[in-house]
Structure 1
Amino acid sequence: MRGTAVTLGSLALVLSSLVWAPDSQARPREQGAVTCTGNSVSRYDPPLTLTPQPTRVHAEVRYDSCTAHAGHTFAATSTFESLRTAASCVSDSDALGVETVRYADGGRSVIAIESATTVRDMGVLFTLQSGRVTEGRGAGHQVRRTVAAPPRQLPTDCLTSGIGGSNSGVQLEILP
Structure 2
Amino acid sequence: MALVGSSLGWAPATQAHSSSRSSLACSGQENTRYVPGLTVVPRSAVTRGNVTYTCTDRPGHTLAATSTIAGVSPHAACVGLKHSRVRETLHYADGGTSVIYYPTSFGTRILGINTSHLEGTVIAGRYKGRGAVRNIQSLGGELPTACLTPEGLQYFTVRANLQIDGG
- Calculate the TM-score normalised by the size of structure 1: 0.81
Deviations 1:119-159 (A, max 9, x none): 44553221111111011100111111101121332222122
| Within-5 A mapping of 1:1-176 | 22-24=12-14, 28-63=18-53, 65-160=54-149, 161-176=151-166
Does structure 2 retain, via aligned residues, the 8 Å contact 1:110–1:134?
A: yes
The one-letter code sitting in structure 1 at the alignment partner of 2:39 is: T
Aligned mates of 2:55, 2:99 — CA distance in 1: 16
The one-letter code sitting in structure 2 at the alignment partner of 1:47 is: G
Deviations 1:78-109 (A, max 9, x none): 10110110101122112331100000000000
Structure having the higher strand fraction is 2
The structure-2 alpha-carbon separation of the partners of 1:155 and 1:119, relative to structure 1 and needing over 3 Å to count, comes to closer
Aligned mates of 1:46, 1:166 — CA distance in 2: 14
Matched with 1:13 is none
Identical amino acids, percent of aligned pairs: 35
Across the aligned residues of Structure 1 and Structure 2, the Cα RMSD in angstroms comes to 1.9
The one-letter code sitting in structure 1 at the alignment partner of 2:121 is: R
Aligned mates of 1:166, 1:120 — CA distance in 2: 12
The one-letter code sitting in structure 2 at the alignment partner of 1:100 is: T
Aligned length: 156
